[in-house]
Structure 1
Amino acid sequence: MRQLFGTIALINMGLLLTGQSHAGVAESLIPHRAVYDLELEDASERSGIESMFGRMVYEFNGSACSGYTVGFRFVTQVDTGNAVRLTDQQTTTYENVEERTFRFITKSYVNQKLDLEVRGSAKAEADGTSVDLTTPRRAKLELDPAQFPTAQMISLIERAKSGERFFQSHLFDGSDEGSKVMLTTSVVGSPRVSTVDEKERTATGDFADMPTWPVTIAYFDETKKEEETPIYRISFKLYENGITRDLVMDYGEFALKGTLSSLETFDGEGC
């Protein structure tokens, strides 16, 4: 299974439609900690998955002045009928939008044993993305031009405000051992007040009856030119304050549904 770190970037990209100016966008994002209960929505026979469930925790903090930090944990238990596997991915990132820098640490555990650790930093330049990896190997990479998650979100807002409902961009998020730039394709529906199930209504509280944008974002690996299908896609409902609910993460051979079960908001740092 491909590393799930890309989910962070997808959720960060989910912040892109706040309908504000650049400064207003940063001010409207609410620092928060969201917990999502995960369950298997669909699985093909080829996947070999009989059951799967878990939990995702996403914490967003910071400001345009101090930079943005994201803490992310994704835990799943997979039953293939022959074996049960527990996976636990823990990621921390920091992004300075003004300086166009990005740091990332990801630790992936399988059955409570460390399976992979990735550490590195990156800087976005006009002619490319410079990546400095320290773990699991020391390497300096020069990748195609790309943006980091929060910077990409800000740059896409103007197109969303102008009524664009389909757009593409390139993103570096540190996934795949920090060695790739991904092509992302976003499809955004018109804002609407949609039905909220009882569990998510309890979690979202006063936000429950606010309009949301239905968003679907797909990730493509451009190094595999012959493949036209995305590596994975995520769909969700997006509130203007950056909080998301009603997630569906589709990895092709299986899909997970994420239900917002707990939400805590924090005071912003301001500038």
Structure 2
Amino acid sequence: MLRTSIVAALTCATLGYVMPARPAAAQASGLLMPHRAVYDLELKDASERSGISGMYGRMVYEFNGSACEGYTVSFRFVTKVDTGEDSRMTDLQTTTFEDLKNGNFRFLSRSFTDEQLDKEVRGLAHDDKDGVRVELSAPDKKEVDLAESRFPTEHMLDVLDHARRGDTFFESRIFDGSDSGDRTLLTTTMVGKRTKPVAGEPDAAKAGQFAEAEYWPVTIAYYNDDKAGDGLPLYRMSFKLYDNGIIRDLTMDYGDFVLSGKLADLEVFKLAECK
């Protein structure tokens, strides 16, 4: 979301962690709930350096599929940004397909400003014996070999797995096709204790049948995958995570500005059964 530029890969050994095996994620994948969630976005804070005087928008996230047939995600992130002198509308549209069994990830991302296409990124990533190979068809046709990485649904499964085990901190390298589709991101994830909602909690009532369900408070920081980086995250996301992968009450911190995202609508789909 609002992904910024990312640079060159860093080895897992340098970070001091070991990538967990992919089969562990695949075994847990049936626990994810297909759904469509709509979030209202508004500016929570902005520094003078950001040049932003106002910002609001909407985010729509639709998750479908099964562990057997693969998972699809449709994502749209629309914001109206006011600088005090002018305003602009930004629109990020992404669709992905993730096949956990075979280690494949297809992605298509289009970004618009005031309804004019700025950039299109399209490609396929798949597990290779030495890491992840990315075959891009847009913006340029090329192939890139990257270090071993998690794809987005795999990473969510890892977060849930650590949360259930009571782990409070872990690190991962991920590939999600963002930016130009040829870089990886490093992440650190912090998981709080499983918590019951309290009266008046923001957007809990919009969670429908999950309004009173327990959740984990989660914060994920995203970093450049680059030894030459300054060690500061590109951005942080904090949210409340349910056991089925649905999230609400988001805070997105990009350093110079912070957005909040409140669940406005949630539609749960039928769980697909493996045939």
Is the TM-score greater than 0.5?
yes
Q: 3-state DSSP class of the match of 2:222? A: strand
Shift of residue 222, structure 1, vs aligned partner? 2.1
Identity of aligned residues (%): 51
Question: What is the match of residue 13 of structure 1?
Answer: none
**Residue aligning to 2:14:** none
Q: 1:72 to 1:269 in 2, by over 3 A?
A: same
Kept in 2: contact 1:216–1:236 (CA 8 A) = yes
CA-to-partner distance for each residue in 1:93-128, whole Å, 9 max, x for gaps? Answer: 000001000000001000011111110010122412
Answering whether residue 270 of structure 2 is matched by residue 267 of structure 1, we say yes
CA distance in 2, matches of 1:231, 1:224: 14
Q: Aligned partners of 1:197 and 1:205: how far apart in 2?
A: 15
**1:3 aligned onto 2:3:** yes
Alignment of 1:5-24 (within 5 A): none
How far is 1:196 from its partner?
6.0
Matched residue, 1:180 = 183
Q: Within 1, Cα distance between the matches of 2:247 and 2:201?
A: 16
8 Å contact from structure 1 (residues 4, 89) kept in 2: no
**Contact kept in structure 2, 1:5 and 1:91, CA below 8 Å:** no
Helix, strand or coil: the match of 1:178?
coil
- Give how far 1:64 is off: 0.3
Report if aligned partners of 1:33, 1:264 keep a CA contact under 8 Å in 2.
yes
Q: Find 2:254's aligned residue among 245, 248, 251.
A: 251
Q: Does 1:76 align with 2:68?
A: no
Contact 1:49 1:80 (C-alpha < 8 Å) held by counterparts: yes
Paired letter, 1:169: S
Q: 1:61 aligns with which of 60, 64, 81?
A: 64
Quick one: which amino acid aligns to residue 36 of structure 1? Answer: Y
- Distance, in Å, in 1 between the alignment partners of 2:26 and 2:150 is 18
CA shift at 1:183, angstroms? 0.5
Which of 9, 34, 37 in structure 1 is aligned with 2:37? 34
Deviations 1:41-87 (A, max 9, x none): 01001001000000000000000001000000000000001110100
Residue matched to 1:115? 118
**Residue of 84, 87, 91 corresponding to 2:90:** 87
Unaligned runs of 5+ in 2: 7-23
- Shift of the alpha carbon at 1:137? 0.6
1:170 and 2:173 equivalent? yes
- CA 1:103–1:188 in structure 2 vs 1: closer, same or farther (change >3 Å)? same
Shift of 1:143: 1.2
**Mapped contact 2:152–2:175 kept (Cα < 8 A):** yes
Residues 202 and 154 (structure 1), Cα distance of their counterparts in 2 relative to 1, 3 Å cut: closer
What letter matches 2:59 in structure 1? Answer: M
The count of corresponding residues between Structure 1 and Structure 2 is 257
Find the aligned partners of 1:224 and 1:84 in 2 and give their Cα distance: 37
Give the equivalent residue in structure 2 for 1:133.
Answer: 136
Structure 1 residues 196, 231: closer, same or farther in 2, change over 3 A?
farther
Structure 1, gaps ≥5 residues long = 7-20
Look up the equivalent residue of 2:57 and give its one-letter code: G
In the alignment, the residues of structure 2 paired with residue 3 and residue 103 of structure 1 have an alpha-carbon distance, to the nearest angstrom, of 18
